[in-house]
Amino acid sequence: MFFTLLKEIPQMFVIAAIIWGFVLILLIRNSRKRSAGFFARHRSTLLAVLAACILTLADIWVFVEYIPTHFKKHPAAEISLSAKDLLIDSSLNDTIHKPALETKKKDSIQKDKTSITDLNGKTYLTNKASIRFFSRGDSEDIEATNHSVACSFNNKTGNLRLTGLIRGFVFENEIMQDHFNDPKYMNSEAFPKTTFTGKVQNLLSVNFSKDGNYPITTVGALTIHGITKNITVSGQVLIKGTRATLKSVFTIKRIDFGITTDEIADELEITVIAAFD
């Protein structure tokens, strides 16, 4: 991490070098004096060393406290979506949720992870799904993950919906994370969410009462950067006991969603994982 910081923010080290450079010059000048004892000659040197130590500490403090680096991370708590947020989204238009809102209002909605069973099957809910994107570049690879994605999935109708906040994507490099939300990039202020609303096409091939890994194909609408595109993706449903996990890895073209920056690859690898208890 030290070398990453050195590469990103060299100003701190340049300032420290200048400070101690003055101390070194003063030391050399005082060493040439022969008319007095050691302490008499280097009294100003000792004071300069003390001042340099204070200035260096101040330099480090300013660097850590005020300059965006790996020392700081965006708090995920401020940008997470709850299962309740997913259910009351006015754009859902999913009939499987309507009776659930009336009968489970005081119980299931208040939980981070829950499920709702009605006449149309069982609807799995979580607000801890994740979306990861990866861009392989000539100079460097770029990746970020959002671990606070709300997801609903019905085991009878196959209806699937994911909703995540753009500001929920966390980078290792915070400078890159700030740049990611800029108007010239993802413009998260104007387009705060990414959503996917679709349906599993071959749901009958999944046995929810038997452990196994079942391949699925999902067709739906993906919205990024305010642009919606119809996509078809393949994935898996892993059943283990009462736990169901959805996973899909697919690629998208950034230009299809109006992302024109050439700082990332033309194609982005997207990984979606949603685990339901």
DSSP calls for 89-136:
-TT---GGGHHHHHHSTTTGGGSSEEEEEETTEEEEEEEEEEEEEEE-
Q: Which residue has the higher pLDDT, 269 or 3?
A: 269
Return d(Cα 273, Cα 149) in angstroms, integer. Answer: 10
d(C-alpha 145, C-alpha 193), whole Å: 14
Ranges of each domain in the chain: 2-66, 76-276
Query: Taking 70 as the threshold, does the pLDDT of residue 162 lie above it?
Result: yes
Average pLDDT along the chain: 79
Task: Indicate whether 131 pLDDT > 90.
Answer: yes
What's the mean pLDDT in 142-157?
94
Neighbours of 80 (CB within 10 A): 19
Per-residue pLDDT band for 47 (boundaries 50, 70, 90) equals confident
Q: Which of 14-28, 60-74, 95-109 has the lowest mean pLDDT?
A: 95-109
Class of domain 76-276: mainly beta
Residue 103 has pLDDT above 80, yes or no: no
Choice among 12-21, 77-86, 227-236, 246-255 with the minimum mean pLDDT: 77-86
Question: What residue has token string 């406290």?
Answer: 65
In this prediction, residue 93 carries a pLDDT of 41
User: What's the whole-number mean pLDDT along residues 109-129?
Assistant: 69
Question: What's the pLDDT at 72?
Answer: 45
Read off the pLDDT of each residue in 200-215 and give the average, rounded to a whole number: 95
For residue 159, pLDDT over 60 is answered with: yes
In the predicted structure, residue 243 carries a pLDDT above the cut 50: yes
Maximum distance among all alpha carbons in the chain? 100
- The whole-number pLDDT of residue 9 equals 57
- At residue 173 the predicted structure's pLDDT band, cuts being 50, 70 and 90, is confident
Is the per-residue pLDDT at 79 higher than 70?
no
Cα–Cα distance measured from residue 276 to residue 127, given in angstroms and rounded to the nearest whole number: 10
Confidence of residue 67 (pLDDT cuts 50, 70, 90): low
Structure confidence at residue 175 (pLDDT):
80
- In this prediction, residue 80 has a pLDDT band, given cuts at 50, 70 and 90, of low
Confidence category of residue 130, pLDDT binned at 50, 70, 90: very high
**pLDDT given for residue 264 in this prediction:** 84
